[in-house]
């Protein structure tokens, strides 16, 4: 299967840099504003992760929780999220979209219906935080049938044997969690250590793209630029929160931040 995600990585490789992946929460702080933010950062980012807000997130730190609660409070619904993606994909400059969230949201929507809808509006990939391998085997196959990547998460606690098995069953992109942390934690291990773990994973199947996420900020992004891709999430969510607090425009501030991040890895 081919997928626009592959093209995004190819383009970045041609430019001799890692792909830049951003994470924002759908509906933060409103349906329209999150769409405008996606449009504004498209110029700099290569792949956009869009969080499906959930109110009992077991892996998210305070920044993403704040964004998610804000979105839920403002009434964001699954249908709105699909609407955002559909509208966004009309943008000529649009980048591949990955929906990221917790399994209950998919389970309640219905796996099949959810995937059909994803296909229809143009979702390229999915990350389901609490549906790990091997529990996700059947869902992975269903995604494949729709040419949607199910992105597997790999963690510093994942054993070698497990890494091999997960990567074997995975689609063309995987996500390495840099450290033991919820999202947005302070980077508590050295970049060198993260890169050495990353390379071990990369060696298992060099053809599959591996991105690194969790704890990546303006400060740390440069030191990890040898990776296929880097994800920045909490730092962006924080920028939205701070902008709202200061009564500034989150759209410009977030766009500026993503531009800066991009410049660091060029």
Partner 1 sequence: MKLKKGIPLIDQGNRFGFWGGKFGGNFVPETLKKPIEDLEILFNKLKKDKKFIAERDRYFKNWIGTPTRFIKLENLTQHIGGAQIWSKVVSDANGGAHKIYNATVHCLLAKRSGKKIICGDTGAGYAGKMLSMAAKKFGLKCKIFMGAKDIERQQPNVKAIKKNGAEVIPVYSGSQTLVDAVSECMRFWVANCDTTAMCVGSTVGPAVFVRICGWSTSQISRELKVQLIEEFGSIPKKLKLYNCVGGGSSSFGFWNEFMDYDKKQCEFIGVEAGGPAKSKRHAAPLTYGSKIGILHGAAQYVNQNSEGQIEETESISAGLDYPGISPLHCFLKDTKRARYTAASDEEALNAYRLVTRYEKLRPSLEPSHAFSVAIKEAKKMSKNTIVVVNSCGDAYKDKKILVKRLGKKYV
| Choices 29-37, 157-165, 201-209, 225-233; region in contact with partner 1 by CB under 8 A | 157-165
Compare residues 126 and 131 and give the one whose CB is closer to partner 1: 131
Tell me, rounded to whole angstroms, the distance of Cα 70 from its chain centroid.
19
Give the Cα separation of 21 and 38 in Å (integer): 12
Concatenate the DSSP letters of all residues of 182-201 into one string.
Answer: STT----S-HHHHHHHHHHH
Compare residues 209 and 253 and give the one whose CB is closer to partner 1: 209
Q: Report the 10 Å Cβ neighbour count for 8.
A: 23
Residue choice 30, 74, 104, 205 for contact with partner 1 (CB under 8 A)? 104
Residue 186: CB minimum distance to partner 1, A = 10
Q: Report the 10 Å Cβ neighbour count for 44.
A: 18
248-to-133, 148, 237, 239 alpha-carbon distances in Å: 42, 37, 14, 10
Residue choice 2, 56, 93, 245 for contact with partner 1 (CB under 8 A)? 56
Question: E strands of 167-249, at which residues?
Answer: 173-177, 209-213, 229-232
Residue choice 36, 72, 204, 244 for contact with partner 1 (CB under 8 A)? 72
> Which residues sit opposite 49 in a β-bridge?
23, 98
Residue choice 185, 217, 226, 264 for contact with partner 1 (CB under 8 A)? 185
| Number of amino acids touching partner 1 (CB under 8 A) | 40
Compare residues 227 and 255 and give the one whose CB is closer to partner 1: 227
| Annotation says 49 is catalytic | yes
Compare residues 69 and 83 and give the one whose CB is closer to partner 1: 69
Give the Cα separation of 88 and 86 in Å (integer): 5
At 47, list the tokens.
């792949």
Q: Which of 46, 49, 80, 228 is catalytic?
A: 49
Residue 226: CB minimum distance to partner 1, A = 23
Binding region for partner 1 (CB under 8 A): 54-61, 65, 69, 72, 77-78, 102-105, 107-109, 129-133, 135, 152-159, 162, 177, 180-182, 185
Residue positions annotated with a catalytic role:
49, 60
């Amino acid at each position: 299967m081919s997928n626009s995600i592959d093209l995004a990585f190819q383009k970045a490789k041609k430019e001799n840099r890692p792909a830049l992946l951003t994470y924002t929460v759908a509906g933060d702080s409103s349906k329209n504003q999150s769409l405008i933010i996606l449009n504004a950062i498209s110029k700099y980012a290569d792949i956009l992760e869009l969080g499906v807000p959930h109110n009992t997130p077991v892996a998210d730190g305070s920044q993403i929780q704040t964004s998610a609660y804000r979105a839920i409070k403002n009434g964001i619904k699954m249908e709105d999220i699909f609407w955002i993606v559909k509208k966004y994909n009309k943008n000529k400059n649009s980048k591949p979209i990955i929906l990221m969230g917790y399994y209950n949201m998919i389970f309640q929507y219905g796996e099949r219906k959810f995937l059909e809808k994803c296909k229809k509006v143009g979702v390229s990939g999915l990350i389901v935080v609490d549906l790990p391998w091997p529990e996700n085997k059947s869902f992975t196959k269903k995604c494949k049938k729709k040419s949607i990547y199910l992105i597997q998460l790999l963690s510093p606690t994942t054993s070698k044997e497990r890494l091999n098995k997960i990567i074997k069953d995975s689609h063309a992109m995987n996500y390495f969690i840099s450290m033991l942390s919820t999202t947005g934690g302070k980077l508590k291990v050295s970049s060198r250590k993260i890169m050495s773990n990353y390379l071990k994973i990369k060696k298992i199947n060099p053809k599959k793209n591996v991105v690194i996420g969790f704890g990546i900020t303006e400060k740390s992004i440069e030191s990890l630029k040898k990776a296929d891709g880097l994800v920045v999430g909490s730092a962006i969510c924080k920028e939205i929160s701070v902008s709202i607090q200061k009564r500034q425009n989150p759209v410009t501030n977030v766009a500026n931040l993503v531009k800066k991040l991009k410049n660091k890895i060029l």
